[in-house]
Structure 1
Amino acid sequence: MKPRIFQPSFLFATGPAASAFLLGNISEVSLHLRTVYSSNSTGSIGSPSCLTEPTQWILSKEQMGKTAAQIHLRLNRSLHVCAENDTNTDCCPKLLCVLEALQLSACVGNTPRASLLIQATIHAQLYPSSVESDNKTVIPNQVFQPLGSCPCDLTRRVCDVRCCCDKDCSSEDLKLFVSYCLPGPFGGHVSPAPDYQCSVQASKNSPDWFPFLCVNSPPENNPYLGLFYQGNTIASRPRPSFQRPVLSAPEPVPLYIQGSPIVSLNDQYFTIPQKLFGRCGNNAPVAFLKNLKGECVTELQSCPTGPPLQTQLTDLNIQVMNGIGGDVMVDVADELAPDISLFISKSSAVASADEGLLCENVTLALDYKFYWRGNGIMGITVTRTVGTIKSNESVVLTTRYSAVFLNGEFMAEPNSGNPGYQVRRPIIAGIVDNDTESVQKTSINNWKPVHDGLCSTAEEKTVLYGENSTSGCLLPIRRHNLTQCNRLRDVVSDLQAALFTATHVAKHGKPNFSTTTDWLNISYVTLNSSTPTEDTRSACSDIPAHQHIQVWSVVSGLVEGIPQREISAFQVSYSLATWTLDCGDVSYCEETLFPITSSVTFIDIPINSGPPKTRFQINFTEYDCNRNDVCWPELAFPFTRYYTGEPYSQSLAKGMILVFFVITASLLGTPWRQIRQAWHSAAL
């Protein structure tokens, strides 16, 4: 049974609302709120109690999964200052309106299981005494007119160079750079000129007949309605978009969006040591909803004296802006490293002290968890792993740092496209639960050799969409290993299978995890030996030494002109090899390194643009309109099916009517009458 705890365990409320998390088994938990006071003799506030006392706060609970709940506290009173001779009791007699300590207890029956201490220090809200003028700012309708008609006008009452829409520029100023005006929306050209304008086609590769058909029209007649146009016209009615209220509103609180840096309460970036450009930076900012994981390597010749290797509680227990008008405190939990050898390795350098190193409470790892919801941070916890380093020589210390964003109990992970895959984004894979048909997200990996290149120390890297790669590691094999070929095959197969355990792969970059509609089965090719080599005392055959992944992708459509790529097939195959240990001298063949490799190949399936060509079209290209400048079948418009402007039956009927009128005009026209007169004259 999970213990019940509040995170954070202490809150400092400066506003009329506060929130915290209750984690653990909360099925039978009841909440009790009371006001507490410190003892004058001991200074303590007493043990938690399961008695509920009347307070000026409203308590509510929001369930967030089976093992978590969010607790909300809201002040049930007004925060305006009492006026003179004011009989209303719902006001603040002093500027410091609320100053009290609260204790929230989570009880099972009459036994308290967890407690939260809240220090509330809330000041009254001040409003201006004088009523300001009722000025209105009229904002134009965005459907018909952009908000910034001249975005390049950066300096007030000064002519900005190359900004031809700047009203501060005189005619003499414009003559200096009229031919070098800033193009595009930044230069004020928010409505692109249509293609039929003569001014647009004059500078492009226009056809010869274009000057006879182009249009000279003022820019005001442009049919372009802007990027806010939704398919129907809206009547433009002048009205104020913003109206200044009588009372000044509080300043808006900037919301966190994905990728924006997290800021502490003193307007400083919230930082975690990270590896940047091959080196470790101790003051690297943390971005909202961006998970990170890294390591920093430091050679210790003496004991560290400051952060990040020697951290105090005040260095980690800081207040961070939550993005929704309040702040949260980082809750710190210490953990003792069970094995210090996982973090240190020996160094060739000599320690500065003769007796070696004896460093206590060294920070070996910092694991942050950010609990978020919407555009705000609900809570932050960090697990600090510490240990004691004792060595007679200098050591190389590898510290680990991580930060994950949890929405309830789920980690925030970005998609790989919307909807189609984006190049160099991770391929999304999953394991299907047959009972619920839901998919658990996982990844497909390749080898990432590090240090000595051995498989025992090799890491894994995620397969990225559209990026062909080949990697591997080295497996040391001794002579006696080649006498147990079946066991050797199983070892290599387990190493290859450990790269990924997925059974399905997502078709596109934003799949639905609650159904299998957006997922494809991963097909495996049966292991077949290409050579009938038999096992001997110094050789083993049919070793699955190479794993090859083939991904077939196709462009399924276009979204705003951008091709949307999706995976149509995913296949995993193995190449079998024979490992032989053949040498004359036993001393040089006691151990040999054999490679284990993996590769990924992406195959683009071309789009089928029409029916397959006939043998006549392939052999005789004279009548192929796609391979010749002159297309004879197109001369018979509209009697051939090359004309696609309207249905073939209608074009054929209109063509026959046109032929009838041409023949009638020829028979009744002037040339035929002259021929008849000449014939009659010759006959007479």
Structure 2
Amino acid sequence: MANVAHKFLSCLFISSQFTRLLLFISLARTQNIIVFQPSRVTATGSTISALLLGHTADITLHVKTVSPSNTTGRISSPSCEGGVTQWVLTKKQVGKNAVRVQLRLEKNRRLCGKNETDTDCCPKPLCVLEALQVSACVKGTPRASLLIQAKIYALLLPANAGSDNKTVIPNQVYQPLGSCPCDLTFKACDVRCCCDKDCSIEDLKLFDSHCLPGPFGGQVSPAPDYYCSVQSSKNSPDWFPFLCVNSPPENNPYLGLFYQGKKIASKPGPSFQGPVLSAPLPVSAYIQGSPIFSLSDRYFTIPQKVLGQCVNSAPVAFLKNFKVQCVTVLRSCPTEFPLQTLTTDLTSKVKNGQGGEVVVDVIDEVAIDMSLFISSPDATSDQGLVCEYVTLALDYKFYWKGNGITSVTLTRIVGTITLKKSVTLTTRYSALFLNGELTGEPNSGNPGYQMGRPVIAGTLDPLDYNTGSVQRTPINVWKPVSDGLCSTAEMKPVLFGENSTSGCLFPVSRQDLTQCDLLRETVTALQTALITATYVAKSGNPNRLTMTDWVNINFVTLNSSTTVKNTTSSCHGVPSYQHIHVWSHITGMVQGIPQRDIRVLQVSFTLSPWALDCGGGDVSPCMDPLETKLFPITSSATFTDIPINTGPPKTRFQVNFTEYDCNRNDVCWPELAFPMTKYYTGEPYSQSLAKGLILVFFFITASILGTPWRQIRQAWT
């Protein structure tokens, strides 16, 4: 309540001051008077500001130095005659009836050194001590005055200001910090550090009453109550002096005095300046993940995505395939890389990693279907700004053998874009490493799957069916782009351990619902195109020639929950939902990392009815046989861990009997004698047993000598 009342009074005071200011402005406007607000100012800095309110159209400002009269002690009346001062007077109109008046000290507030003849400095720590009067005059007549009392001290600047010398604070574990932890600047006085040996007597007077408190300011904290030197005979507790501590006050852990052992010289650390990055060192032979270098010892770069953003120049790693898309909004014809490229710039020389070089072979292709790269319909119109030879795709193929590159080919796709207003352009960049004619396919773990890596699947190679060779094929889910339609949607691989749900929209008209068999076949073809594989790899590095590294994919078709007959505006049994369920388990540990293998992969389809809903006022799909309505087609992936069986199954008695189970029962009888059981690890078992027997002995003795047993003996006698 006190805080609420304080806030209420503060708001009331501010509102009253603001109301008073508005009333004064209105009064000054009606009576044609002017006044300074505030009328008296005490200045401690080099800038002074005040407001002049009222009719300020024809006013002139004059400033002079004043002093009180020796007889009356009063300041002389304001006059329109200015004087020579060390202040610069400026004014600025901030409103119709308000002027901001500002005075700025021109004198340098640096403290003069010894035997210094420069007059632009302060000879004493108290630099300025004077009274000023600012008069507002109209046609030579003073109308208002502002009285200023200036009391300004000189600025204390270190003698070596701007130098890079810094006090090196040693590691407190190896060397004591010292008695003045706040001394941070070498050979200079630190403000509020009263134990700094570099501060003079004049410096200490400026902040003598504002020293840094506690041990970090060089002042040892007050001794605690358990020190023997603090307690006295009057206020000493009953445990004093048997449990008090004798220790000198200088023995404070904040000062580092507990570390007086062997001193170990610490290694010099980096400076405050950023380290100078050295030029990249080209490698003699490429290994997986190492950057590829050009002939001029620079990184060979291709536009890529870094942290979700497209970067025009990103290094290419050896044996690292990638495929990215970058979206750019064009409002004018591009003139720079990578949307405008020259053949001479692309046919660069690359180090092959074996002491030689290879030249990038450029193959140009012209894009015929521009809808794959642009999404604005204005770009295909005949009117507008024509941009020719725009680079739409850069596809690199690196052929490698061993630790070197044998050749590099680049397929550049260019096209012509017509700009009417703006165009959303999607460019594609890729790098593919080929070992001879086979793709260098990356693994997803070694040996177990890693989280976030693609699930490896495949089919039997028809050209090598007799030997049982498996050709890799990805398992995909939907990746909707742009308008979200299935006709423009793309596919993305299923990543191990990451559950996902995605889909696209399929337009269906009333005429399509009259041909349910054709509709079901079309949707089935779309869903089965996501998964063309028949095998899935157990581990992250399968051998395509070893069939024991692969398991069959189980395809299951689920019936629809409700049976709906086909009508003129509905179809049942449409496989609109495809679910991929992966069961995995941990087979072992490699360097503390669990290795997960896939045991079962099941693909199931859920059948659902599709019907036109003409409710809500939208009856056009039901009236017009060609009017379409969007229906969702969904795909999802779920991963489930199979728990490890650590022992034989529990019996019915073990499952149901909970009286002595401390984990499932509030009353735990085995913990009644917990200190004497094997679960107590606070001290050796022999000591806990001895102490427990002593407690039992005392309990029995107290019971025998107590009141109940005394009454029993008396009754027996």
CA distance in 2, matches of 1:161, 1:307: 52
301 and 624 in structure 1: CA distance in 2 versus 1, 3 angstrom threshold: closer
Shift of 1:460: 1.0
Matching residue within 636, 639, 658 for 1:599: 636
Once the two structures are TM-superposed, the CA of residue 359 in structure 1 deviates from its matched residue by 2.9
Contact 2:570 2:609 in 1 (8 A): yes
Give me the whole-angstrom Cα distance separating, in 1, the residues matched to 2:413 and 2:514.
44
The answer for the alignment partner of 1:587 in structure 2 is 620
Match of 1:89 in 2: none
**Structure 2 CA distance for aligned equivalents of residues 630 and 522 of structure 1:** 51
Instruction: Assess, with a 3 A threshold, how the Cα gap between structure 1 residues 176 and 253 changes in structure 2: closer, same or farther.
Output: farther
Match of 1:458 in 2: 489
Partner of 1:432: 460
Deviations 1:495-523 (A, max 9, x none): 11011100010111111111211111011
| 8 Å contact kept, 2:514–2:569 | yes
Q: Which residue of 1 aligns with 2:426?
A: 398
Q: CA deviation at 1:430?
A: 0.6
Distance 1:350 1:406, change over 3 A: closer
Report the residue type matching 1:403 in the other structure: A
Equivalent residue runs for 1:269-308 within 5 Å: 269-308=299-338
Cα distance in 2 between the residues matched to 1:451 and 1:340: 15
What whole-Å deviation, never above 9, does each CA across 1:233-259 have from its counterpart, x for those lacking one? xxxxxxxxxxxxxxxxxx994433322
Q: Which residue of 2 aligns with 1:561?
A: 592
What residue number does 2:528 align with?
497
Q: Matched residues in 2 for 1:501 and 1:174: separation?
A: 74
Change (3 A) 1:614 1:396: closer
Counterpart Cα distance in 2 of 1:568 and 1:350: 51
List per-residue Cα deviations over 1:97-142 (Å, max 9, x = no partner).
xxxxxxxxxxxxxxxxxxxxxxxxxxxxxxxxxxxxxxxxxxxxxx
Aligned partners of 1:280 and 1:296 also within 8 Å: yes
Identity of aligned residues (%): 64
TM-superposed deviation, 1:573 = 0.9
What is the CA distance between 1:449 and its match in structure 2?
1.2
Give the 5 Å matches for 1:645-656.
none
Secondary structure in 2 matching 1:284? strand
What's 2:255 paired with? none
Q: Does the residue aligned with 1:396 lie in a helix, a strand or coil?
A: strand
3-state DSSP class of the match of 2:588?
Answer: strand
Which shows bigger deviation, 494-503 or 259-268?
A: 259-268
Residues of 1 paired with 2:179 and 2:537: CA distance?
Answer: 58
Equivalent residue letter for 2:644: I
Which of 247, 251, 262 is matched with 2:292 structurally? 262
Unaligned stretches of 5+ residues in structure 2: 1-167, 182-280, 678-717
1:336–1:385 CA contact under 8 A, matched in 2: yes
Q: Secondary structure at the match of 1:443?
A: coil
Specify which of 387, 403, 416 is matched with residue 375 of structure 1. 403
Q: Which residue of 2 aligns with 1:678?
A: none
Give the number of equivalent residue pairs: 399
**1:616 equivalent in alignment to 2:646:** no
Partner letter of residue 330 of structure 2?
A: L
Residue 350 to residue 548, structure 1, CA distance change in 2 (3 Å): closer
Identify which of 558, 561, 570 aligns with 2:601. 570
Match of 1:532 among 563, 566, 570: 563
TM-score (norm 2): 0.51
AA matched with 1:455: C
Per the alignment, residue 274 of structure 2 pairs with: none
Residue type matched to 1:607 in 2?
Answer: I
Deviation at 1:489, TM superposition (A): 0.6
1:342 equivalent among 367, 372, 383: 372
Distance across 1 between alignment mates of 2:476 and 2:380: 39
Paired residues of 2:396 and 2:408 also in contact (CA < 8 A): yes
Out of 345, 358, 374, the residue aligned to residue 386 of structure 2 is 358
2:517 corresponds in structure 1 to: 486
Distance 1:611 1:279, change over 3 A: closer
Provide closer, same or farther for how the CA distance between residues 390 and 253 of structure 1 changes in structure 2, counting only shifts above 3 A: closer
CA distance in 2, matches of 1:161, 1:494: 72
Matching residue's letter, 1:369 = K
Indicate if the aligned counterparts of 1:623 and 1:631 stay in contact, CA closer than 8 A. no
Aligned letter for 2:388? Answer: E
Per-residue deviation at 1:624?
A: 6.5
Given that residues 282 and 293 in structure 2 are in contact (C-alpha distance below 8 angstroms), is that contact kept between their aligned partners in structure 1? no
Over 3 Å counting, the alpha-carbon distance change for 1:254 and 1:580 in structure 2 is same
Residues 419-478 of structure 1 deviation map (CA, whole Å, 9 limit, x = unaligned): 111111111001024422111011111111111111111111111111111111111111
For 1:491 and 1:361, locate their aligned partners in 2 and report how far apart those are by CA, in whole Å. Answer: 38
Q: Displacement, 1:274?
A: 2.2
Distance of aligned partners of 1:356 and 1:163 in 2 relative to their CA distance in 1, 3 Å threshold: farther
- 1:315 and 1:607, CA in 2 relative to 1: closer, same or farther beyond 3 A? same
Alpha-carbon distance change, 470 to 477 in structure 1, aligned in 2, over 3 angstroms: same
State the secondary structure of the residue aligned to 1:315.
helix
Match of residue 509 from structure 1: 540
Within-5 A mapping of 1:26-45 = none
The one-letter amino acid of 2:346's match is L
CA–CA distance in 1 between the matches of 2:380 and 2:532? 45
AA partner of residue 587 (structure 1): S
**How big is each residue's C-alpha offset from its partner over 1:132-177, in whole Å with a ceiling of 9 and x where there is no partner?**
xxxxxxxxxxxxxxxxxxxxxxxxxxx996598xxxxx86699999
Which whole-Å CA distance do the structure 2 matches of 1:171 and 1:529 have between them?
78
Change (3 A) 1:163 1:454: farther
Q: Distance in 2 between matches of 1:160 and 1:567?
A: 56
Distance 1:423 1:559 in 2: 15
Equivalent pair of 2:477/2:491 in contact (CA under 8 Å)? yes
Report deviation, 1:383.
1.4
Q: Structure 1 pair 377/580, CA: closer, same or farther in 2 (3 Å)? A: same
Cα distance, 1:350–1:364 mapped onto 2, change above 3 Å: closer
Does the CA-based 8 Å contact 1:347-1:393 persist in structure 2?
A: no
- Decide which of 331, 334, 351 is 1:321's aligned counterpart: 351
1:416 is aligned to 2:449: no
Whether the 8 Å contact between 2:508 and 2:630 is mirrored in structure 1 is yes
Superposition pairs of residues 59-138 of structure 1, within 5 angstroms: none
2:46 matched to which residue of 1? none
Q: Give the C-alpha shift of residue 536 in structure 1.
A: 0.6
On the 8 A contact 1:331/1:380 being kept in 2, the answer is yes
Distance (whole Å) between structure 2 residues aligned to residue 162 and residue 288 of structure 1: 44
Q: Residue 344 of structure 1: SS of its match in structure 2?
A: coil
Q: In 2 relative to 1, CA 340–350 (structure 1 residues): closer, same or farther, beyond 3 Å?
A: closer
Say if 1:624 and 1:582 are closer, same or farther in 2 by CA, change over 3 A. closer
Equivalent pair of 1:350/1:393 in contact (CA under 8 Å): no
CA contact (8 A) 2:169 2:177 kept: no
Query: How many angstroms does 1:347 deviate by?
Result: 6.0
2:500–2:638 CA contact under 8 A, matched in 1: yes
1 CA distance for matches of 2:528 and 2:671? Answer: 57
